Homo-oligomer: A and B are copies of this chain.
Amino acid sequence: MFEYEDKNWCEKMRIRLDFNNVMQDFIDGGFSQKNFDDLSEKITNAANQLDSKRANGQMDWRNLPYNQPVDEILDYAAQVQKNFESILVLGIGGSALGPIALQQAINHPYYNELPREKRKFPKFYVADNVDPERLVYLFDVIDLDKTLFIVISKSGSTSETMSQFMIIKDMMEKELGKENAKSHIVCITDSEKGNLIKIAKDENYKTFYIPAGVGGRFSQLSPVGLLPAAICGIDIKELLAGAAFMDEACKNNPQKNIAAMYATINYLAMQNGQNITVMMPYADSLKYISDWYTQLWAESLGKSVNNDGKIVNVGQTPVKALGVTDQHSQIQLYNEGPYDKIITFISVENYRETITIPKIFEDMPTVGFLGGATHNELIQVEHYTTERALAKLNRMNMTIILPHVNEFVIGQLFYMLEVATAFAGELLNINAFNQPGVEEAKNLTYGVFGKPGYENKRIELENVLKKNQNYFV
């Protein structure tokens, strides 16, 4: 039996939300039960909306914990582990942020630097930019002949990913020959639409699919997240079991379940002037969870128009921070600056290692007091005292508590934050699943590069450039 099939074990791994420090019992200006009661109809409606959308097949990402081709992924991953020294994910946005977050959470923090016998699985790289330097320099550390390229684009028209793919395909065919190159490429894309599936079929590349109804930032539990993880030895069955466990929790009364409450508290905070939401895990392993969350929250909830067509320009700005590190960077501002933010800490109850501070310098009171303590205690105490200091200054904060960092817990965390984001979208009465605001820059880019149909965009830019040297120092 796997651990995640044991109900008691799962219960011990349940993630929780401590929101004392947003409540008026703990801080001046905090929320009261009445604030939640006043919203109860809205909250119930939001929950019902999500349920009916799911029932109508409009929320395919909710079903990813149950319907993914896990065995096919594991079989393919086993082959990759045998045949390759490195994998390179070509993707951007959710296609990069999810795989990076999971890799950092579960695997060794210096994974790529470990010798193969200790690392066991292929090295893990992601190319999520079109910076010419980085791509050139990457080839100083990977060997084309021993690298698998995982090309991720649902539409197959993501300029950044597709141009990287074009460069690498060309390099590889020249270096390895056209037939050999094929076995170095796997595509994760829509099963029917777009360029990438067409190319994959023409070239006979191995392919995995992103279900049609799943958008990039909600795709982490599809092959987008699962395939790179499985190749690097991460237990994707446990990850999905954690997500399914959270799915059950999210069916509870929305005033009693963690995802809905996380959304509701942030919604109340937005109404209250907190236009900034900070995500601050106290664990290096969770640093990139904040990056993934930033996309999810920003792109889903930053919208100009609501579902009634009214201009609203809503959206909380997510800020990434890391405890304790950023106590020495951002906390001064959080404690003393404007009352414009709500802070979510992520705490870890049990780290995977323990390290003890020796009893030395006992004659120096400002450092000697540390002797005999563990870093585990120090990081947890610093989280707690930071939280308290904020609360004393009536700064809203809450904590997502992770019992451990493992696949089951991270699966819960991904799924919880996805549901919370969708829930917040309902509370805000906006569409959390589109991103119309990124189209204009794309169209202007097409204009510059002479894509047919975008000639007027080029002219528009040329007109601006004519007057563009006005304000310079």
Using CB atoms and an 8 Å cutoff, list the residues of chain A in contact with chain B. Answer: 16-20, 22-23, 25-26, 92-94, 96-97, 108-110, 112-114, 118, 128-138, 140-141, 155-157, 159-160, 162-163, 166-167, 169-170, 195, 198-199, 216, 256-258, 261, 275-276, 282-285, 291, 294-295, 298-299, 301-305, 313-315, 317, 319-320, 322, 324-341, 351-358, 360-361, 364-367, 369-371, 373-376, 378-379, 381-382, 384-386, 388-389, 392-393, 435-438, 440-442, 444-446, 448-452, 461, 464, 467-468, 470-473
Distance of A17 Cα from B472 Cα, bound (Å): 6
Assembly of this chain: how many copies?
A: 2
21 A–B contacts from the bound complex (CB under 8 Å): A23-B470, A96-B325, A113-B141, A128-B325, A129-B379, A131-B379, A133-B283, A157-B366, A159-B370, A167-B356, A170-B358, A275-B275, A302-B334, A331-B441, A332-B435, A333-B437, A365-B451, A369-B446, A385-B444, A385-B461, A392-B440
Distance of A394 Cα from B295 Cα, bound (Å): 22
> Which of B133, B295, B329 is the one whose CB lies under 8 Å from A285?
B133
8 tightest A-B CB contacts, nearest first: A302-B333, A93-B328, A315-B337, A335-B437, A385-B444, A295-B329, A302-B337, A157-B366
Contact between B378 and A328 (Cβ–Cβ < 8 Å)?
no
**A365 to chain B: which residues have CB within 8 Å?**
451-452
Contact between B386 and A351 (Cβ–Cβ < 8 Å)?
no
> Which of B256, B302, B351 is the one whose CB lies under 8 Å from A473?
B256
**A299 to chain B: which residues have CB within 8 Å?**
328-330, 332-333
Contact between A450 and B317 (Cβ–Cβ < 8 Å)?
no
